[in-house]
Amino acid sequence: MSFRGLFLSAALLACAPVLAGPPAPARDRAADRESLKKTLLELAQRAPFSDARLGMQLLSLEDGSIVFSKDADALMNPASNVKLVTAAAALAKLGPEYRFDTEFLVEPGSSDRVRALFVRGKGDPSLTTERLHAIASELVHLGLREVGDLVLDDTWFDAERLAPGFEQEVSDRAYTAPTGALSLNANAVGVYLRAASPGSRAVVELEPPSEYFEVVNAAVGASSRARRASVSSSWTGTQQRITVRGTVPVAGEWAVWKRIDNPPLYFGFTFKRVLEMHGIHVRGKPKLGAVPERTRLLYVAQSETFDLILKRMNKYSSNFVAEQLLKTLGAELKGPPGSTANGVSVAEEFLEREVGIPRGSYILRNGSGLNDTNRFTARQLAQLLRVMWDRFPLAPEYLSSVGIAGKDGTLRYRFEGSEAVGRLRAKTGTLENVSALSGYVQSVGGERFAFSVMVNDYPGRSGPVVQGIDAMGAAVAAVGAPGGPDRAVASLMQPAGVTPVSSEEAKARIRTYLAVAQKADQRNLPFLRTAWRTERDPAVRAVLADSIYQSDPRDYLGTRALLDSFTAGDDVYGRLRKLARELREPLPCVGSLTALAAEGNGEALSRLVELARASSGDLGAQRTVSSSLADVARTAPDELLVSLRAASSADRDAAVVLLAQGVAQQQDADHPLWPAVRKVMASTDPTVAAFGRGLDATLSQRVAAEKAPKVVQAGPATVPAAPAPPPAAPTATERPGG
């Protein structure tokens, strides 16, 4: 190995953990590569890849040769793999030593009582409430005691808050947070919910609290453990309105994070409150304004080191950090105000001049990869990875920013039980019908590779696609291991759910996992994840996934496990209904799906709609689904209508019947479902409007029929029956989520 190669290897070993250990003794590399190529080709021709578009490039970092290629020049949606481009351009153009500044300035004169405190932001994506407390403490020690106006200068970036692609979904979720030169907490707010007693108003607490927010609390406590609440965030023009609806279990508390819409005012009102907590009185309200020329610098708050910011972006796939970095590139290299367009221009210059990827051969519109916006080829991403590997001053920070298989980030629970654990570092990418993985791997035999895998337009769920991509990575890592790539693929691609156990054994396992789930203890997650990965009974595996979710509902990976494991078929939902009745336990999974659907989760809504037809002939199951649909219609009516429109006609018809029953039983003339239906009817899209009119007519007829007095025959005459008593409360086996 050359001196440069030894130097790079030593530097990378300093980033613990890294691509695993020293190379193994010399092997027959040609034979290893042929075996790997054969395995990857066979895998690429199997389902789910045979029904999708697959682009893959695998190249050796030892000699630069292409080891395997499959449609590597096809332009694909890379999803969050675009963050690899953003990270590389930011490192190359800003340097690993770069830090973000936030400046605090005052007019000349006294430092204890100032007419105005000016805050000029320069795009720091790592500012948090905790850091504001540290800043306030520094200002106190500098003698500041009273402030007239708190003036917020947000002009380092332009006024466009959302990058291209963000407009493709209407969402208040934290991953769609806007950019801002003055930003805080990734421009999201934590909403914490709990209840003191059934029927009482729920307690809603915000983190951080400030006058920036208006809280509309329409949530109440419930004795059930089932969570049926939604939280929405919207800008009123003067405040951020947080609206909470539904029911909150008395036992425990839970939290969601929602985006805010006015970053500088969010920062300003929070900072005002923090200053006052530290004894600095602020007379006026925060307001926007540019820093005048005649000011002096009082204090500069610098961000954490650039490697930590890159880790936050890549290991946890932060869209917010990515878009902040892109605008920072524009501001620093093209001059303020920083814009997405100028940031893209800087990234394109980097790709052309330093990576050798010409403009026009790809499409780059934003820095995060959100939605249907960008296009790259697997060859281009693999080439970028190779160039960054060879660029020593940047390679350690770049390599350490991405997730480590089986260890951390978005790869924490992937590749478990394979040779890829600790040996593979990569960036994930996930959108609807898009899954990607690009990064580095060192095989057991010692050879290092760069790879990019992108899968687009696959039908069905993402679980089998992710499993297949992981099998590819594991195959590369297993070169040189006993059994080699074939054994690695066989281990990871063994189909789940092909070995149902006996009813008695299934009930014993389910009882155990339900007991673990009730503890809601995150320390049980490693045990549950291992059991879930190895479980081959589909019904038991779904219960395990539900237990993982309930142990930490905030963890996206637990949500993903539940959505991928639960199906409406007889092997899961049908069998669980039978087993739950025999166990006299609440029906697993449905309660968690309903809780997710009540928050507006699209996949959970789709699963819930599918259950309507799957419940045919089971009165108890129909009651459960009917109640769940009505609850979801109260907290996430717009999202439910989207799912109904996307469903098959058979699933939609069955769901509308049960939805009407549930809404009729709730006896609420002001049910939020009706305004949502009217909004769909008023759509400018004729197809959407027609769907809304048909749904309105069907629901109105069904609800009226449910409310109408029942008619019984009495001899030759027909008389109205007495009003039916309210339906009995669901039994323990019918009640969703207990």
pLDDT tens profile 495-524: 544 678 899 999 999 999 999 998 888 899
Give me the mean pLDDT over the 525-542 stretch.
89
Least confident of 185-194, 236-245, 560-569: 560-569
What is the band of 734 on the pLDDT scale with cuts at 50, 70, 90? very low
Rg (C-alpha) for the chain, rounded Å, is 28
Relative to beta strand 146-153, strand 287-288 is: parallel
How much of the chain exceeds pLDDT 70, in percent?
A: 92
| Structure confidence at residue 26 as a pLDDT band (50, 70, 90) | low
Say which range, 17-26, 34-43, 98-107, 528-537, has the weakest mean pLDDT: 17-26
Q: Which of 163-177, 395-409, 491-505 has the lowest mean pLDDT?
A: 491-505
12 — pLDDT class (breaks 50, 70, 90) = very low
Checking if the pLDDT of 143 tops 70, the result is yes
Q: How many CB atoms lie within 10 A of CB 498?
A: 10
**Strand, helix or coil at 151?**
strand
Query: For 306-332, what is the mean pLDDT?
Result: 97
Once rounded to an integer, what is the mean pLDDT over residues 403-408? 95
Q: What is the mean pLDDT of residues 297-321?
A: 96
| Per-residue pLDDT tens digits for 252-296 | 788 899 999 999 999 999 999 999 999 999 999 999 999 999 999
Q: What is the pLDDT of residue 296?
A: 94
Share the mean pLDDT of the chain.
89
Range of lowest pLDDT (8-12, 31-35, 198-202): 8-12
Give pLDDT, residue 636: 87
Q: What is the mean pLDDT of residues 657-671?
A: 85
pTM: 0.86
Residue partners of 716: CB distance under 8 A and separation at least 6: none
Burial of 212 (0-12, 13-18, 19+ CB in 10 A): buried
Distances (CA, A) of 561 to 125, 150, 698, 736: 30, 46, 35, 19
Task: Answer left, alpha or beta for residue 214, where phi above 0 means left and psi between -120 and 50 means alpha.
Answer: beta
Six token digits for residue 122: 């320069």
What pLDDT shows up at residue 230?
A: 84
